[in-house]
Amino acid sequence: MSHTLAPIQYAPTALEGGAASAAPPSLDGKQEYTITVYTENQVGLLNRIAIIFSRRKINIESLNTSPSEAEGIHRFTIVINETEDVVKKLCRQIEKQVEVLKAYFNTNEEIVWQELALYKVPTDVITEKVIVERLLRQFGARAVVIRQDYIIFETTGHRQETEGLIHALAPYGLIEFVRSARVAIIKASSGFHDKLREFEAYQPANDVSQNEFLGKRSEVFSM
């Protein structure tokens, strides 16, 4: 079945544009910001957060949501291209939501981030053409599934890296490609808590730098 799928075509110029994630603020002051949000795990909250962006006609470049290190607390990672002034206001609007514990933002310099990409390639091409194998090595790809008809490779990296492998594989019949949202972690050694301290210097919260509620399921109001 996979052989009936036409190889996906990619515009060759996209590779050059792929470096945007490391770009400094553009002339209009916009740059990539990664917003991290800690929330309760509640139906409908994704919509509440999403409409804060859509109401202001701001496009979300990437969005990931999954459980955090604290039990019962979810972590959103949202990437947008905006000015600092706008991203600051957005964070306050997000934090205003009842079920949001904390929202803060980082520039790309302040974080380490990755995206995961999966590539489905016809097995016959891979086995025939040595260059493909070399390409995969060069991009640090790992095989996840190996079948007679196709092989699925996986890479992690920045947008331009995963994009790079697409372009390298395109001539050899890439059957399917998918990329995950960005996940990001703060560079500073104490991570979240350090960032909180910095934020709370300008934000109206307890002087206590640590969020005393994180990790306390018993602090959830119940009857």
Residue numbers of the site for another protein (CB under 8 A)?
39-40, 43-44, 47-48, 51, 55, 88-89, 92-93, 95-96, 98-101, 203-207, 213, 216, 218-223
CB of 92 to another protein, least distance (A): 4
- Closer residue to another protein, CB minimum distance, 97 or 180: 97
| Secondary element (H or E) of residue 157 | strand 150-157
| Secondary element (H or E) of residue 88 | helix 84-96
* 111 Cβ contact partners less than 8 Å away, ≥ 6 residues apart: 34, 184, 185, 186, 187
- Closer residue to another protein, CB minimum distance, 27 or 43: 43
Q: Provide the sign of the torsion angle of the four alpha carbons 16, 17, 23, 29, taken in this order.
A: positive
Between CA 50 and CA 58 the distance in angstroms is 10
- Closer residue to another protein, CB minimum distance, 121 or 214: 214
Between CA 85 and CA 29 the distance in angstroms is 9
Cα distance between the two ends of the chain: 54
- Closer residue to another protein, CB minimum distance, 80 or 101: 101
185 CB burial (10 A radius; 0-12, 13-18, 19+)? middle
Between CA 129 and CA 126 the distance in angstroms is 6
CB of 48 to another protein, least distance (A): 6
Rg (alpha carbons) of the chain, rounded to whole number: 21
- Closer residue to another protein, CB minimum distance, 67 or 171: 67
Bridge partner residues of 64 (DSSP): 77
CB of 211 to another protein, least distance (A): 9
Using DSSP's 3-state secondary structure scheme, residue 110 falls into: helix
- Closer residue to another protein, CB minimum distance, 16 or 99: 99
- Closer residue to another protein, CB minimum distance, 59 or 222: 222
Q: Provide the sign of the torsion angle of the four alpha carbons 104, 106, 111, 114, taken in this order.
A: positive
